[in-house]
Chains A and B, each alone.
Chain A
């Protein structure tokens, strides 16, 4: 019997499909990636028990009643009116603190709308007054 001598081939890893594999994984990651950047309105809360007393003349109270109406002082105003009013007040008094007093039964949406207006008016010191009314 004749033994044929094998032709010695250099070992090689086929790399032709490497790109295909890479693209496959790439497409998987592209489809699963969510670029949902976190976004929102920032606020830093005061520490518990660190409530500071502020002079009355340095406070502007913005109130939201249970019906979702916005009041500054005693006057009911519409939400777009908040920004100019707060801007005016801030221009008059630099160290003004805006106290946002929202009724427990008011919808959250109204609170965010007012908070948004305060942010747009460049109000830096905003305090969320905790309300303790029952019912």
Chain B
């Protein structure tokens, strides 16, 4: 029996589809990216064990409240009556709006209470207190 001598080729990795794979991943990341539009205020968020995730990210409005009782929405420092106006228009645009209240852990509750009352007036009733997971 004769064994045919195999021709020796240098080994190759096919690279034709690398671009396709890269574009696929690229599209995934482009769709998943939500650019941060607000810088917010510098604060430490409290920790809680019962922290839940909010699944709908695009329905969310943030309110920052720092230790010095400054309130920030969309990077503007606002007073309570202004907060009411801004939140009212936001709720009108999107009735399913979830307000995420990012308050500093050392702020006194009075400021939070006032803000909650304002949100009630603005009919922004779905509120989430932003917290970090605690294990």
Chain B residues touching A, majority SS = mixed
Q: Is A1 an interface residue (CB 8 A)?
A: no
B131 close to chain A: CB less than 8 A: yes
Is B125 a contact of A44 with CB atoms below 8 Å?
Answer: yes
Q: Which residues of chain A are within 8 angstroms of B108 by Cβ–Cβ distance?
A: 104-108
Name A's interface SS: mixed
Number of interchain pairs (Cβ within 8 Å) = 149
A86 to B100 CA separation, bound complex (whole angstroms): 26
Residues from chain B with a CB closer than 8 A to the CB of A116 are 48-50, 131
Please report the C-alpha to C-alpha distance between residue A109 and residue B30 in the assembled complex, in whole angstroms.
37
A: number of interface residues (CB 8 Å): 45
What residues make up the interface of B, taking CB atoms closer than 8 Å to A? 15, 18-19, 22-23, 25-26, 29-30, 32-36, 46, 48-54, 57, 60, 100-101, 103-113, 116-117, 119-121, 123-133
Query: Interface residues, chain A, CB within 8 Å of chain B?
Result: 15, 18-19, 22-23, 25-26, 29-30, 32-35, 37-48, 64, 102-113, 115-116, 119-120, 128, 130-131
